[in-house]
Structure 1
Amino acid sequence: MAKKWGIIAIFLFGVYALLMYVYIFHNGGGGIPATLKGTVADPNVFMSERELYLSEEYSRIKNFLFFVSIPYEWLVYLFILITGLSLAFERWIPLQNKWAILQNGVYVFLLSVLTFILLFPFDYYRYFLSKKYGISTQDFNSWMSDNVIDFWVNLGTTLVIVTVLYWLINKSTKRWWLNAWLLMIPFSIFLMFIQPVIIDPLYNDFYPLTNKELETKILALAEQAKIPAEHVYEVNMAEKTNALNAYVTGIGNNSRIVLWDTTLNRLSENEILFIMAHEMGHYVEKHIYFKIAGYILTTLVGLWLTAKIMPWVIHRFGRVLKIKRVNAIHSLPLFLLITSFLLFVSSPISNYSSRYQEIRADQYAIDLMNDPEAAVKTFQELTKSGLSEVNPPLLVKWFRYSHPTMLERINKVANENELKE
């Protein structure tokens, strides 16, 4: 029976991958509308012929990998279940019925190592592509070092979550989802609070911006936005990427204004100030609080759905999946599969909300800086540095784009400038 379900799952995955390949590589969508050809939003105007070719090729491969890698992850969880590996991991745990944190730690470690190995080909191929197309400048050793840090950070947070989660499930198989949700709220806010000062520095070096004149101008913008920041931080990303970025992160006194050194090296002062005005727009519009509220709401719905789906799946397919009961640690791959699926199918909604917030932040920066030339140039440089599609196919936009397309962003600035003129 398990073999039959495994074959069916692989067949469905193959059919899905073929359909996505046809859609992404032979859809013909995502072109430039005739009315915008020759305008500042047309990549043919601001990108070289080679950049256009690389952008199209790289974007298609990257999009295909995205749509294939997530169902592949589901396939991995299914494989771990139907082969009995998850149940075997639980049985291998020493000191059964003693010290739950130790038992969970061993199980989570074994599961994390296995999933890391099985998902590694996709991770490595993404790294290979980014190197091949000139996005990444990171050598393999540095990239692997970041992966190892990721592994241990994720292991630590997963262990805490899993230990509390299964303790709650054992306490109440019917109401665990509500109790888990209530505990997730302070835990998530705590992670947001410590991320800028503890987690982020594990990957990169942060130091005060060396260009003090620019820092003064950025802090003047921050003062207008009422951001409690005394310094602007620079992060050494040039040794890892050619992409550009800047952001405002953290909560309260832990807020940080951060600029990648690639942004400093490639953009003019006015363009940098426009980017910073955009990031501060998120703060002024209180988007971080809307995101927290959205996360809290979606977590509630997700946990409730998972609590309904898991028992049903175990009742119907428990023998095939080698799951004996919902409150056993070996049911964790099923929990991860369900939550991953729910996150994927709900991503168009979360991306739509994020794109709206990005539009608002763009508008704030446009109004504050009143420099349409810098705004257009910034968006063009962001497109070139990341070899981004300015107008992706619809499904790609729905599932992948948390920001408006560059076509929309550039055209918005251009239209507003025409209106003012």
Structure 2
Amino acid sequence: MAAAAAQGFDVETATRAYLDLLQGPARARSDAYFEGGYWLILWNAVVAVLGYGLLLVTGGSARLSAWAARVTRRRWLQPGLYALPFTLATALIFLPWTIYEDFVREAQYGLMSQTFAAWGVDQLKALVIGLIGNFLFFIVIFAVIRRFRRGWWAIGAAVTIAFLFLAVAIAPVFVAPLFNTYSEMPAGPLRDRIVAVARENRIPADHIYVSDASRQTKRISANVSGIGPTIRITLNDNLLNRTGPDEVLAVMGHEMGHYVLNHVRNLVLGLGAILLLLFFLASRIVPGLIARHPRWGVRDVADPASAPLFLAFVSVAMVPLTPVMNTIVRHNESQADAFGLDAARAPDGFAKAAMRLSEYRKIEPGPVEEALFFDHPSGATRVRMSMQWKKDHVPNAQVERPALKFD
């Protein structure tokens, strides 16, 4: 039956019916917002080099390291103590840029729901988390550098991956609730449909969480987070309030794909491979930079004062590596799209959700542009995939004339 339907259903016509919904000022705003993000990749690196460089050339980093050494003779503890004022200093140095990128720019494009004060409170929470995390990480990573003078880069990368796994595991339970309220999705027909799809794919569905993300942003979103016993599927209240049941089901099917296909684990491992390369390159480049700039006051790579140099190097190196990371993520997202279409069997719901995401993602990039800058398939790619699935699987498929309104 689906084969017969395929003869009368034109994928491109059906795709264009969706893509043409985003026109005029709404499309111009979406394109401008996303294309501006291309430049942010470069500007973030520039700001990082300037900020971390300031700590180096002024001797500020060396003074922080000396302070830690005066406070305690326990060498293993000194990097952790260094991390505390270092985290505060960098947060202050980068604050103007953080305000622009994370608040002003989001507000300019109509994506911010918070007041500046509320946003500031969330930033303070993130700062406290950063203080704790950096304290622990600096202790461990500099212990590795001291102990393994030649192979520290490989062991250091492995330690960083372990920290990433730990962060992913504890974030849903201990970190995310600091920023949002999470509640069980209300009982009803939509939850029943989601649970049915989950059970068909042997996915635990005892708990489906809804976050109050609307207090921060207008973006629709869902995610799978955690590892092992902390894995959970969450959708935000914007998704429930701004979309229809088929859209919600399609998005949740996509998130279930991440769970079944072990994408959380795979992404951490993929990032780990990139980290291994970065640590190796740093082990070859950073010692030479330290030796050539004695005025910085950094003794060697085992000195916590070298932290700004390492971080500046990583910031620069990630510019050419961003397309690599985007490709890894985009591949996983495409796999989850295919899984979600098979699981939810709601191709028009998926196409509508892709269009809503295009409120802030350029909808029709060129192929090279998509390959370099998109960490998710573009709206056009996703709608076309949905319509191809519809042609292949829905008997007597018809081209819809969807009615979606964009602000």
Output the TM-score relative to the length of structure 1.
0.83
Match of 1:175 among 151, 170, 188: 151
Q: What is the CA–CA distance in structure 1 between the aligned matches of 2:370 and 2:48, rounded to whole Å? A: 21
Match of 1:379 among 354, 379, 382: 354
Aligned to 1:224: 200
Q: How does 1:135-284 map to 2 (within 5 A)?
A: 135-284=111-260
Match of 1:81 among 53, 56, 64: 56
Are the equivalent residues in 1 in contact too, given 2:141–2:159 (CA < 8 A)?
no
SS, match of residue 229 in structure 2? helix
Aligned to 2:70: 95
How far has the Cα of 1:301 moved from its partner?
2.7
Q: Which has the higher contact order (CA 8 A, sep 6+)?
A: 2
Aligned to 2:375: 402
Cα gap change, 1:89 to 1:399, in 2 (>3 Å): farther
How far has the Cα of 1:230 moved from its partner?
0.8
Is it true that 1:318 corresponds to 2:318 in the alignment? no
Q: How does 1:26-65 map to 2 (within 5 A)?
A: 40-41=15-16, 45-65=20-40
Code of the residue aligned with 2:349 in structure 1: it is A
Code of the residue aligned with 1:147 in structure 2: it is Q
Which segment drifts farther, 157-166 or 47-56? Answer: 47-56
- 1:218-244 deviation digits (Å, cap 9, x = unpaired): 122222222233111010011111100
Which segment drifts farther, 294-303 or 271-280? Answer: 294-303
Are the equivalent residues in 2 in contact too, given 1:228–1:252 (CA < 8 A)?
no
Cα gap change, 1:201 to 1:243, in 2 (>3 Å): same
Is it true that 1:390 corresponds to 2:363 in the alignment? yes
Q: What is the CA–CA distance in structure 1 between the aligned matches of 2:154 and 2:296, rounded to whole Å? A: 26
Aligned to 1:25: none
How far has the Cα of 1:62 moved from its partner?
3.7
How far has the Cα of 1:201 moved from its partner?
0.7
Are the equivalent residues in 2 in contact too, given 1:244–1:260 (CA < 8 A)?
yes
Aligned to 2:99: 124
Aligned to 2:5: none
Is it true that 1:108 corresponds to 2:83 in the alignment? yes
- 1:265-306 deviation digits (Å, cap 9, x = unpaired): 011111100000011112222222322332333333322222
Is it true that 1:351 corresponds to 2:354 in the alignment? no
Cα gap change, 1:61 to 1:232, in 2 (>3 Å): same
Cα gap change, 1:135 to 1:104, in 2 (>3 Å): same
For structure 2, the 5+ residue unaligned runs are 1-10, 398-407
Cα gap change, 1:63 to 1:179, in 2 (>3 Å): closer
Cα gap change, 1:284 to 1:93, in 2 (>3 Å): closer
Cα gap change, 1:41 to 1:84, in 2 (>3 Å): farther
Cα gap change, 1:41 to 1:72, in 2 (>3 Å): farther
Are the equivalent residues in 2 in contact too, given 1:228–1:255 (CA < 8 A)?
no
Code of the residue aligned with 1:336 in structure 2: it is L
Q: What is the CA–CA distance in structure 2 between the aligned matches of 1:79 and 1:275, rounded to whole Å? A: 44
How far has the Cα of 1:39 moved from its partner?
6.1
SS, match of residue 233 in structure 2? strand
Aligned to 1:412: 385
Are the equivalent residues in 2 in contact too, given 1:185–1:296 (CA < 8 A)?
yes
Q: What is the CA–CA distance in structure 1 between the aligned matches of 2:169 and 2:123, rounded to whole Å? A: 23
Which segment drifts farther, 207-216 or 53-62? Answer: 53-62
**Size of the alignment, in residue pairs?**
384
Are the equivalent residues in 2 in contact too, given 1:87–1:330 (CA < 8 A)?
yes
Code of the residue aligned with 1:411 in structure 2: it is R
How far has the Cα of 1:256 moved from its partner?
1.0
How far has the Cα of 1:389 moved from its partner?
0.8
Output the TM-score relative to the length of structure 2.
0.86
Are the equivalent residues in 1 in contact too, given 2:224–2:256 (CA < 8 A)?
yes
Q: What is the CA–CA distance in structure 2 between the aligned matches of 1:361 and 1:152, rounded to whole Å? A: 34
How far has the Cα of 1:334 moved from its partner?
0.9
Code of the residue aligned with 2:140 in structure 1: it is V
Code of the residue aligned with 2:204 in structure 1: it is P
Are the equivalent residues in 1 in contact too, given 2:219–2:357 (CA < 8 A)?
yes
Are the equivalent residues in 1 in contact too, given 2:222–2:234 (CA < 8 A)?
yes
Query: What is the alpha-carbon root mean square deviation over aligned residues?
Result: 2.5
Cα gap change, 1:48 to 1:391, in 2 (>3 Å): closer
Are the equivalent residues in 2 in contact too, given 1:78–1:334 (CA < 8 A)?
yes
Match of 2:266 among 290, 302, 305: 290
Q: What is the CA–CA distance in structure 2 between the aligned matches of 1:366 and 1:85, rounded to whole Å? A: 54
Are the equivalent residues in 2 in contact too, given 1:310–1:334 (CA < 8 A)?
yes
Cα gap change, 1:368 to 1:239, in 2 (>3 Å): same
How far has the Cα of 1:59 moved from its partner?
2.9
Which segment drifts farther, 154-163 or 55-64? Answer: 55-64
Code of the residue aligned with 1:415 in structure 2: it is Q
